[in-house]
Chains A and B, each alone.
Chain A
């Protein structure tokens, strides 16, 4: 999946996460994580984000994650939404999600 513009999803409400993705100028993956549970879940969230990018075959992305204590399934939903939006893709591959 290729990002053609900035994709944003989520909110800063409690239990949600605001994620924005855009293509990385150096063609790599970079994750900027801000989380109110960073000390206890920071590494876990970063790995989750990396895994999802991998599953979605995204190889160039600058990912901004502003986490308000979201559960994994919420982070996944918001990141996938942001990626689909950023890639301008409207046909979802539900089998692979």
Chain B
């Protein structure tokens, strides 16, 4: 299977997608950085000043992993969905369908680029946060691993969204109506243990909670759920996304007549 992969094809798609990002580098970077600064000012300084600490971690630092996750999730989904939707919209999708690239190459190219952009932006947010709060990362390797897996998983989800969408409205509605609420309710700004027992149980149905929890653990060693459970949850999520994408390309759903 590996021998069959058209690597120059993967690179062509990846490079093409990254070039689009760098063409609009300031727009791509400015908006997440500005919104992060606002979160720090509002939640970290104004409100956080009264909260003091959560489970021994200063509130300003506590929200850093949540903010990074919020951005990674939003960026992964929007980059990947837009990346594949745009050729569908402009008609250039035909090129991917007639050239010797299969679902593996197309997915690696688009999802790889979307994930790379999201990771880059998350790291810039981390650097920005150093200017506001003292953040110490306990497990840097696992921090990067969670970042990578989350970016990968949600870029895959975004890719499916882009393949499914028939209009720009559909493309925007899912991130707005689904992703953002899941992140806010997934403990980006609080610990699930701060919730009453019933709501804590409900919150644990939210897959994003496992991501944020695992990610926060890599920073502070604190987790709402065991880290192993977080990793397994992400792995299952990625596996399901791959299976759906494979099915879409094999059947040609919304791609081929």
Answer yes or no: are A and B bound together in one complex: no
The residues of A with any CB-CB pair to B shorter than 8 Å are: none
